[in-house]
Amino acid sequence: MKRTLIFSLSVVVFLMMSAGLVLAGGEKEKVAEEEFVIGMAHSHTGWAAAFDVAFTCAVKYAADEINANGGIAGKYPVRLITGRDCASIAAEAVKSVDALLAKDVDMIALTCDSSGAIAAGRHGQEQGILMITSTGSQPMTPIRVGDWMYASNFTDNLMGSAIAIYAREELKIDTAFTLISYDDAYTELPKYFAETFEKKGGKIVGEATYNFEQVDFGSVVSQIKQLPEEPDAIMTAAFEPDFPAFLRQIRAAGIKSRVIGADALDTPTVYSLGPVAEGVLLCTNRVPVPGSEYEKIMKGYAEEYPEHVENAASIVGYIAMYLMAAAVEKADSTEPEKVRAALDSLENWQGPTGPITFKGMKNRLPIMPVHILEVVNGKGVYRKMVIPNKEDIAEPY
């Protein structure tokens, strides 16, 4: 009994001390008036880390550049506060944002995990804090959170529409077959493609669905083979490991339709697939063109973060930081209300990979450039920058 009592009391004392330590981490920090403080609520573990980590590195890289030049507009230095790991889990994202809110940040960049971004974003919304989606491309995330959240990456509806326009106008593709997975919102992108594609005079000749990690796409192959005519293109937002499996199986079946994918295909794995990947079209934020602004940025970035230089999330982070800096500069203030108003009025802001416009856009989803690459000889060869007209962009749902 005595031992149990002593043990219990020890546990209690230990826990009280621990709780004190936790609280110490939650205290408000004194923030200088002129600083623009960005809270970084990202996943450093779990599936979302693959995108979030590169994004945070690039934001830091850009912030260092800005600060080296005296801060935003020479007077607002940027300070980043790295929040606790969102761990690709909604509950952890909420805790991370809660902790950042307690530190009086001016803005929060959220994890690309949509459930975490929505759960945590709604807390930020209640507090009236400016937020961005980081690399998240789901258009519904800012809509579901509210008027304090902005997309900082091209959204799926914009991307789907852009590649549809490219397919119709540049490649003169008339018929397309779409492959959709309802396992995640990201893989529903072909629906946006289909909407714009048909609006532009194309014809969707069939649609199939798949589940993540399906492995066998035999039924989809049969469905395509049974079409009266082979479609000009097959559009899917599938990614690893589904995309390579699907690609190999349609090519093995003799289907020669051009395959059009989304941004998740811009990975070394896809480029290393060999002949089956030849001609695959994909979207990206990267502009791998010698002499481009993008290449210049990445040259410097590679010196600090070589492991993330090929990751498209890096340029998204870099652009997002400068985009926010532009809003602060335009507002000439770090007050969230003013920065938000400035962001709403941004029109044709020239980012390193193209112009970005929030002005006149519904739901805080910007029009920004979508870059099309084609896989040629195992490399992503730059084809074109597409910026859809506002009226050509499919409505998010």
Partner 1 sequence: MTININKQKDSRRIRDKKPDIGTRVGESFNSALLLLFTVAILTVPLSFIGATVNRIIILIIINIIAVVGISIFSGNSGILTIGHVAFYGIGAYVSGLLTTSPDIKMEFLPNLPEFLMNLNLSLLPAIIIVGIISAFLGLLTGLPISRLRNTSAIIATFSLLVISHYSLIGAKDFTNGNKSFYGVDQVVDVWTALGFLALAIGIAFLFKQSSAGLQLRAFRDDEIAAKSMGVKVNRRLLESWIISATVMGVAGALFAHTVGAFAPRAFYFLKTFELIAMLIVGGIQSISGAVCGTILIAVLLEIVRNIENGFVLFGLEVPPLWGLTQFCLSGIILLVLYLRPSGLFGNTEITLPFTKNLWPLSKKKVYETISMAPVFKKDNIGSGDMGKCLRADAVTKNFSGLQALNKVSIEVQPGEVVGLVGPNGAGKTTLINIVTGSLVLTDGRIFIDDKEITSWSMQSIALAGLGRTFQNIRLFKELTVRENIMVSVSANKDHSGLSLEKTATNWLVEFNLQEYAHRLAGTIPYGYQRELEIARALALRPRYLLLDEPAAGMNRAESENLLKLLKDIRTRYGVGILIVDHDLHLIMKLCDRVVVINKGEVIASGKPDEIQKAPQVIEAYLGTDQE
Of 74-103, binders to partner 1 (CB under 8 A) are 82-85, 87-92, 94-95, 98-99, 101-102
Piece of the chain touching partner 1 by CB under 8 A; list 7-15, 298-306, 313-321, 366-374: 7-15
Q: Under the phi-then-psi rule, with left for phi > 0, alpha for psi from -120 to 50, and beta for the rest, what region is 2?
A: alpha
Given the complex with partner 1, which of 18 and 350 has the nearer CB atom? 18
Q: Give me 190's structure tokens.
A: 């072909």
Q: Give me 105's structure tokens.
A: 């940040």
x/- contact string, 99-138, with partner 1 (CB under 8 A)?
x-xx-----------xx--xx--xx---------------
> Nearest distance from residue 220's CB to partner 1, in Å?
19
Terminal Cα-to-Cα distance of the chain (whole angstroms): 62
Q: Is 1 in the site for partner 1 (CB under 8 A)?
A: yes
Given the complex with partner 1, which of 95 and 340 has the nearer CB atom? 95
CA separation for the pair 286, 298 (Å, rounded): 10
Q: Is 13 in the site for partner 1 (CB under 8 A)?
A: no
Count Cα atoms within 13 angstroms, Cβ side, for 137. 28
Of 355-374, binders to partner 1 (CB under 8 A) are none
Given the complex with partner 1, which of 122 and 383 has the nearer CB atom? 122
Q: Is 268 in the site for partner 1 (CB under 8 A)?
A: no
Piece of the chain touching partner 1 by CB under 8 A; list 43-51, 242-250, 327-335, 378-386: 43-51
CA separation for the pair 250, 256 (Å, rounded): 8
Given the complex with partner 1, which of 156 and 263 has the nearer CB atom? 156
CA separation for the pair 372, 313 (Å, rounded): 16
Q: How far is CA 371 from CA 182, 284, 312, 353, 383, in A?
A: 25, 5, 11, 9, 8
* Secondary structure (3-state) at 267: coil
Antiparallel, parallel or unpaired: β 379-386 and 370-376: antiparallel
Piece of the chain touching partner 1 by CB under 8 A; list 181-189, 229-237, 306-314, 363-371: 181-189
Q: Is 215 in the site for partner 1 (CB under 8 A)?
A: no
CA separation for the pair 158, 349 (Å, rounded): 17
CA separation for the pair 110, 122 (Å, rounded): 11
Contacts with partner 1, residue ranges (CB under 8 A) = 1, 4-5, 7-8, 11-12, 14-16, 18-19, 21-23, 25-26, 44-46, 49, 82-85, 87-92, 94-95, 98-99, 101-102, 114-115, 118-119, 122-123, 140, 144, 182-185
